[in-house]
Amino acid sequence: MKIKKIIKKAFLCTLVGLLVLAIAVLSFFKIGFELNDYERYTPSINTKLSEAEMRSILQKGILTHNDYNTLYYQTGLTEIGIDSVLETGGVDAVLKFQKAYFTSYGIEHDYFAPFCDYMRIDDDSPSGEMVELQNGDIIISSSTVFSCWDVGHCAFVIDAEKGRVLEAVGIGKNSTTNFAGYLRNRPDYIVLRPNIDKDTVDKIVNYAKENLIGIPYDPTVGVLTRKYNTEIPQTQCAHIIWYAFMQFGYDIDSNGGMVVSPKNIVHSQYFDVVQVFGFDPDTLWN
């Protein structure tokens, strides 16, 4: 009889302990969510060059390193981005990027799960400008939040001609393709371009198209399950892109940890920055 009482008491103590722990964890997530201080970067309007000053630089024909550097802080476009926009849209197109870069945007919050939020530019504000994408580009935003963490989101361009990206969007959904255009409504994004040979990039993109659509979402990949498997049973937004590149020997996780995040990919050696929008151009995403 005493043994039964001891077992019962131990069971009740364990149950109470688990309940207290659960309440503590939920309270921590809730407090963190309420205190999250996400804030997009907007450059000071006092640093904005006039249209005449911008045209003076852009109409030179041959731009110097200093010119590209100046334009980066005016538009968020790196040398790769400036050359691309000039080629496809000319000087006036670059001026549109400058206008978008210095605009202060209103932000709407969309709560899609407990303690989870993603932010978008509100309906009264214009959407951002985005460079013409290429297959293999990655679009990364920090504007998805879980509790106190800016976990971010990323998408992989697999059909630039049709504006399609591959992405793993959330719990209960399988990886799928989507139109890249919607990401222009995020309050911040970085466009990255692989600095590896085009043939390999094409192979990575084709592999993703053929093998990585319809994979179940799991935010615990790398923690409760293995980061790498010969087959991919579950994934998340950064992991699915990392997995595609790993098939061809490129580990795009910049810190090599158990979990790959959008922030890790931003700092990967295998990509060049094409455009920065809503991020500090000096620090990107720290």
Q: Which two tokens stand for residue 33?
A: 């969510």
Residues 6+ apart with CB under 8 A from 118: 109, 110, 112, 143, 144, 145, 153, 186
pLDDT (0 to 100) of residue 23 = 43
Low-confidence ranges of the chain (pLDDT < 70): 1-37, 111-116, 145-151
Sheet of 116-121, strands arranged across: 107-113, 116-121, 144-146, 149-150
User: Is residue 235 classed as helix, strand or coil in its secondary structure?
Assistant: strand
| DSSP code at position 161 | T
Through-space distance between the first and last CA atoms of the chain, rounded to whole angstroms: 60
Question: pLDDT tens for residues 206-231?
Answer: 999 999 999 999 988 988 888 988 88
What does the pLDDT read at residue 110?
Answer: 74
- Find where tokens 């000071």 sit: 44
Please, are residues 153 and 140 in contact by the beta-carbon 8 Å criterion? yes
Q: Give CATH for domain 107-277.
A: 3.90.1720.10
Domain boundaries along the sequence of the chain: 1-35, 45-101, 107-277
pLDDT in tens, 28-67: 334 434 444 677 899 999 999 999 999 999 999 899 999 9
- Confidence at residue 61, expressed as pLDDT on a 0 to 100 scale: 84
